Amino acid sequence: MALNQALSGINAAQADLNVISNNIANAGTVGFKGSTAQFSEVYAVTGLNLSSVAVGSGAELTGVAQQFGQGDLETTNGSLDMAMSGNGFFVVNNGSGNQYTRDGAFHQDANGNVVTSSGANLQVYPPNAAGGFNTSTLTNLQLNTAQSAATPTSTITASSNLPASAALPTDATFSPTDPNSYNNASTLTIYDSQGGAHSASIYYVKTGNNTWNANLYIDGQSAGTQALTFNSAGALTSPANGNLSFTPTALSNGATLSSPLTVNMSNTTQFGTAYAPGTINQNGYEAGTLENVEIGTDGIVTAIYSNNQTTQLGQIAVANFSNLQGLQQVGNNNWVGTQASGTAVMGTASTGQFGDIEQGQLETSNTSDTTAQLVDMIQAQQNYQANSQMLGTVSSLDQALFQAVDRG
């Protein structure tokens, strides 16, 4: 019996060493969670009233408990590197169903999908038309690698001051090439339907006391002339809403300019000071390419394009379980839910029971400090050696007994 007891102790110590060895081997694995071996006594079944003299039958491995303590966060500055600071798991899909991971070392694949090192797709809640996110469904996070579509300029806003003391131009016939035919000018860039850039200029011509003409030229072609009228205090009175309407000429490249093109002059004044172009803005922009991705602590993923436009691509889904010990490890730093773990509780970062998502950081293994693991290894090794010694002692005793019987 003692041989079996010692053997069970050796097997238990070996199992403990295996678990510790796996912890140490994964000390550098992102998002890895260490485990501890759990043992129980093996007790022989005894007859009635014999338990007071019965001896146990050794030890056995009863389970390997996972330790879900937080690992340290390490800064990487990778735009798709993420760490969960607090409770929760990233949700990924490998094509066979959802899995859960703390490994946030994501990257973009050839199709623009954000995936794990094993190719599983990161799951997000997609944007909805109302400006939020549809938390009733999950989809792959797909980075829009195509260009951000161009938007043609439809409105120009000019805030200038035209000098009240200005004299009438010396040349009566206006021409953009004749500086003596206009008083002042402002220039800006506008965009057509394909995002092509065009030079636009507004030429101001004083026509009388408190009256001016605004001439819009695009790429040297006239888009029309509109009148401006100011009152004695220098405020614009006509047009009443401040909007001038122009009609650009057709383009030859297949693109179009907004027609009519509105120039808002409501903040333009005629004071006794010098000409001041003020601010002049327009609402169009060229096509843009993806330059960066920003991920908030709440998991909202925003694409930033070279034309300074932004688009929300989704909100990262996170999950948690009522019994983490019930999760089943499936490799590649992933877990799946089981009946023991309970159904996944879905949500978003920075709300309720869920922690924050930290962009540009990774959660290191919670066994990265190997000191504790080495101490456990020494203890397991001593247990193994003690049981081996017991096995040798029992073997020697049995051999002595057999020799005594032979001599008898």
Q: From CA 113, how far away is CA 116, in angstroms rounded?
A: 10
* Percent of the chain residues past pLDDT 70, beyond the cut: 91
> For the domain 155-282, what is the CATH superfamily, name and number?
Flagellar hook protein FlgE (2.60.98.20)
The CA distances from residue 298 to 4, 84, 98, 124, 314, in Å, are: 56, 11, 21, 12, 11
Q: Is 220 left (phi over 0), alpha (psi -120 to 50) or beta?
A: left
Q: Which of 181-209 are b and which e, b meaning 16 or more Cβ less than 10 Å from the residue's Cβ?
A: bbbbbbebebbbbebbebebbbbbbbeee
pLDDT of 401:
59
Q: Residue 244 has what pLDDT?
A: 97
| Both structure tokens of 405 | 């019987």
Residue 313 near residue 330 (C-beta atoms within 8 A): no
Q: For the chain, what are the domain ranges?
A: 2-69+368-407, 73-147+289-363, 155-282
What per-residue confidence (pLDDT) applies to 321?
97
For residue 303, the model assigns a pLDDT of: 93
Amino acid identity of residue 104, one-letter, is G
Please check the confidence at residue 49 and state whether its pLDDT lies above 90: no
Sign of CA dihedral 263, 268, 272, 274: negative
Answer with the residue of higher pLDDT: 110 or 402: 110
**Which tokens belong to 42?**
């093996």
For residue 69, pLDDT over 80 is answered with yes
What per-residue confidence (pLDDT) applies to 316?
98
User: What are the angstrom distances between the C-alpha of 282 and each of 54, 153, 154, 155, 266?
Assistant: 92, 6, 8, 6, 14
Tens-digit pLDDT profile for residues 354-404: 999 999 999 999 998 888 888 888 887 887 788 778 776 766 666 765 666
The mean-pLDDT minimum among 61-65, 70-74, 86-90, 95-99 falls in 61-65
* Predicted pLDDT at 390: 73
pLDDT at 5: 76
Between 360 and 36, where is the model more confident? 360
Burial of 141 (0-12, 13-18, 19+ CB in 10 A): buried
Instruction: Identify the pLDDT of residue 44.
Output: 67
pLDDT digits (tens, 9 = 90+) for 137-167: 999 999 976 678 899 999 999 999 999 999 9
pLDDT at 171 over 70: yes
365: alpha, beta or left, given left = phi > 0 and alpha = psi -120 to 50?
beta
What's the pLDDT at 15?
82
- Banded model confidence at residue 408, pLDDT cuts 50, 70, 90: low
pLDDT digits (tens, 9 = 90+) for 193-218: 999 999 999 999 999 999 999 999 99
User: Mean of the per-residue pLDDT values for the chain?
Assistant: 90
pLDDT at position 48 is 58
Is the pLDDT score of 1 beyond 70?
A: no
Q: Which of 19-28, 30-39, 157-166, 249-258 has the highest mean pLDDT?
A: 157-166
Q: Quick one: pLDDT at residue 122? A: 98
User: According to the model, what pLDDT value does residue 154 have?
Assistant: 96
**What is the model's pTM?**
0.77
- How confident is the model at residue 253, as a pLDDT? 85
The residue that leads in pLDDT, 88 or 370, is: 88
Instruction: Say yes or no to pLDDT of 108 above 70.
Output: yes
pLDDT of the residue at 50: 57
